[in-house]
């Protein structure tokens, strides 16, 4: 495990920590990070946007006709007798 010591610096009314460029590059940080407290430790991790790009992918699927259901819908007795729209 690599250990880096750094100073806590005043930034306006807050305080902050400067991260060395090498650590930022190794972690894949951009302009935003998530900070989580775990077991009395601050954990910094890259912000992940799991649904990034979905809009483009859905448009591409529709363009190629890949946005159709694979299975046919099956009607049950309950659907026919109980369900009301």
Residue 1 has pLDDT above 80, yes or no: no
**Amino acid 13: pLDDT:** 95
Q: Measuring CA to CA, how many Å separate 23 from each of 35, 45, 80?
A: 15, 11, 61
Q: pTM score, two decimals? A: 0.52
23-57 confidence digits (pLDDT tens): 999 998 988 999 999 999 999 999 888 888 899 99
Mean pLDDT of all residues in the chain? 89
Which residues, at least 6 apart from 43, have a Cβ–Cβ distance to it below 8 Å?
35, 36, 37
Torsion of CA 78, 79, 84, 85, to 10 degrees: 160
Q: Measuring CA to CA, how many Å separate 55 from each of 40, 62, 81?
A: 38, 11, 38
Domains within the chain, CATH numbers bracketed: 1-69 (2.10.260.10)
| Structure tokens belonging to residue 81 | 């007798």
Mean pLDDT of 9-21: 94
């Amino acid at each position: 495990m690599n250990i880096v010591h750094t100073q806590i610096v005043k930034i306006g009314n807050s305080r902050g920590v400067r991260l060395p460029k090498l650590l930022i590059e190794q972690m894949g940080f951009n302009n935003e990070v998530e900070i989580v407290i775990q077991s009395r430790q601050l954990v910094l991790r890259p912000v992940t946007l799991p649904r990034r790009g979905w809009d483009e992918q859905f448009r591409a699927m529709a363009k190629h006709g890949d946005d159709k259901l694979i299975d046919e819908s099956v009607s049950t007795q309950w659907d026919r007798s109980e369900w009301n729209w």
